[in-house]
Structure 1
Amino acid sequence: MSTTRTGTSCVDAARLGILLNELRLPTIKVLWPQFAEQSDKEGWPAGRFLAAIAEHEIAERARRRIERHLVEARLPPGKTLDTFDFDTVPMVSKAQVTALAAGDGWVGKGANLLLFGPPGGGKSHLAAALGLALVENGWRVLFTRTTDLVQKLQVARRELDLEAAINRLDRFDLLILDDLAYVTKDQAETSVLFELISARYERRSLLITANQPFGEWNKVFPDPAMTLAAIDRLVHHATILEMNVESYRRRAALERKRAPGRPPVHATAKTVVE
């Protein structure tokens, strides 16, 4: 029989291991001998010993949960708030973005975040970076190109499973729909997108990136009434960030062409056109 001596008592380690497995406490199973030895040496009260191993179990569970949620989030790699260049997007406040990364003020209330700006302005990077920060803060997130999700929902509709498919997305506190503008102006596509927006309204959050301002959303939704209804639901509880800057890809290309010693090209804010 495997036993471990702690203080004046002998513990059946094998039996305790089985019990901890039954209770699904794998971290305590690994750590308890080490903590028991330290507890005996330092004369800890039983409550301190129990609290110490319980804290480690909780911390490890949180770490594993975040790992699972990062896998399911499907975030593009390398996009973090630390690598986002706020200097090139002066109209976006770093303090505001930091507050948004906590999630309590909007994700916890089913509100939305809308990022507008031309291609290459950093919308997708910022969206993915916020998604990563939110996962690390305990929220469940899914990042997807809008066209990919719309196609999956269309398949669900053909299989008479659309409502269930949208309901399954409820497990995500935040859906990040990247590149809304690239949805084809097709009644079947835009109708499932509208149903998704309607289903999540005031219940679950959306983060949407789009190249066109609202005034051009008739290019996305062919029905004017549907356009107005979609915009109304999205903006009712929303934060809107306009990132009207020159494409970072174009800036990088210009900087490569510049002769050595010349100053780099910096982004400048453009006038917002509604």
Structure 2
Amino acid sequence: MTLKRHRGLTEQAATAAVDQACRMLRLPTIRAQFPELAEAAARDQMSYRGFLAELLMAECDDRARRRSERRIKAAQFPREKSLRAFDFEANGNVDAAVIHTLATCEWVKKGLPLCLIGDSGTGKSHLLIALGTEAAMAGFRVRYTLATKLVNELVEAADEKVLTKTIARYGRVDLLCIDELGYMELDRRGAELLFQVLTEREEKNSVAIASNESFGGWTKTFTDPRLCAAIVDRLTFGGNIIETGTDSYRLASARAARA
């Protein structure tokens, strides 16, 4: 197969035309990879259809990668965490099979909740971010926030008369990840505003939370028993509860590194 001439163009002119067309059609990957792929196609005597397929698949793959990167960035994770980097051997409380099943994101597709409960250093925030990242890579809109930050934002929104708009914005994402729920006591107003967000998402879009308190201890955070019970119901109905335990493997790892 020869790519030297096309409709009377020299090879150099054809290359320039491809470059210009890719700019106009916004095909940056084809533009960047065309020379190398064209040489490989000629060397391997690839058919015209095969060469075209290689170009288009390269563009599609790169666009999918860029979309994933944009969704991960939009999620506002505080740091990168992956399931591959989670040490399941160091934390026997966490079932690797269960976590990898959650990584398929079927629960996000169904709008189900997820609760990660355990002491500091047991990996719950790592899993929250890693599973949120998996959801973003799978095409879901994800948003991460600290519980206190979310409540403060809701209080400010209520004061500025834009609460409905703020709650609707949080309601639109496919997965809302709320970290450090239970670390600080919330006053009744803050708890009620958080409850509104959870109610907006109930049975429509998923919520995943990480908390250092068992459900029985949530009355320290939500001081109204009835409101506390309603929030627990919103976050557990039909969902998954993962207990990461009480032994800090992060602390154990640090000690081992110093030994």
Q: Same fold (TM over 0.5)?
A: yes
**TM-superposed deviation, 1:78:** 5.0
Q: Which amino acid aligns with 1:204?
A: N
Give the Cα separation in 1 of the matches to 2:44 and 2:88: 50
Give the Cα separation in 1 of the matches to 2:165 and 2:196: 12
Q: Which runs of 4+ in 1 moved over 6 A?
A: none
Sequence identity (%): 37
Give the Cα separation in 2 of the matches to 1:157 and 1:203: 23
Give the Cα separation in 2 of the matches to 1:31 and 1:248: 45
**TM-superposed deviation, 1:14:** 4.5
Residue number in structure 2 paired with 1:240: 241
Residue number in structure 1 paired with 2:68: 66
Residue number in structure 2 paired with 1:130: 131
Query: What is the root-mean-square deviation in Å for CA atoms of aligned residues?
Result: 2.7
Structure 1: which 5+ residue stretches go unaligned? 261-274
- Deviation track 1:188-221 (CA, whole Å, cap 9, x = no partner) reads 2111211111111112111101122222222222
Is the contact made by 1:123 and 1:243 (CA closer than 8 Å) also made in structure 2? yes
Is the contact made by 2:114 and 2:209 (CA closer than 8 Å) also made in structure 1? yes
Residue number in structure 2 paired with 1:114: 115
**1:23–1:254 CA distance, 2 compared to 1 (3 A):** closer
Q: Which amino acid aligns with 1:140?
A: R
Residue number in structure 2 paired with 1:85: 87
Q: TM-score, with normalisation over the residues of structure 1?
A: 0.80
Is the contact made by 1:121 and 1:243 (CA closer than 8 Å) also made in structure 2? yes
Residue number in structure 2 paired with 1:268: none
**1:87–1:16 CA distance, 2 compared to 1 (3 A):** closer
**1:64–1:53 CA distance, 2 compared to 1 (3 A):** same
Q: Which amino acid aligns with 2:234?
A: R
**Is residue 31 of structure 2 the alignment partner of residue 32 of structure 1?**
no
**Is residue 222 of structure 2 the alignment partner of residue 221 of structure 1?**
yes
**TM-superposed deviation, 1:240:** 0.3
SS of 2:240's partner is strand
Is the contact made by 2:27 and 2:59 (CA closer than 8 Å) also made in structure 1? yes
Give the Cα separation in 1 of the matches to 2:37 and 2:193: 55
**TM-superposed deviation, 1:114:** 0.2
**1:240–1:33 CA distance, 2 compared to 1 (3 A):** same
Give the Cα separation in 1 of the matches to 2:243 and 2:201: 23
**1:33–1:8 CA distance, 2 compared to 1 (3 A):** farther
**Is residue 5 of structure 2 the alignment partner of residue 6 of structure 1?**
yes
Give the Cα separation in 2 of the matches to 1:155 and 1:6: 65
Give the Cα separation in 2 of the matches to 1:44 and 1:8: 20
**TM-superposed deviation, 1:122:** 1.8
Written as runs of structure 1 = structure 2, the 5 A alignment for 1:20-59 is 20-40=22-42, 42-59=44-61
Residue number in structure 2 paired with 1:158: 159
- Deviation track 1:101-140 (CA, whole Å, cap 9, x = no partner) reads 121x201111111011222222112212222333333333
Structure 2: which 5+ residue stretches go unaligned? none
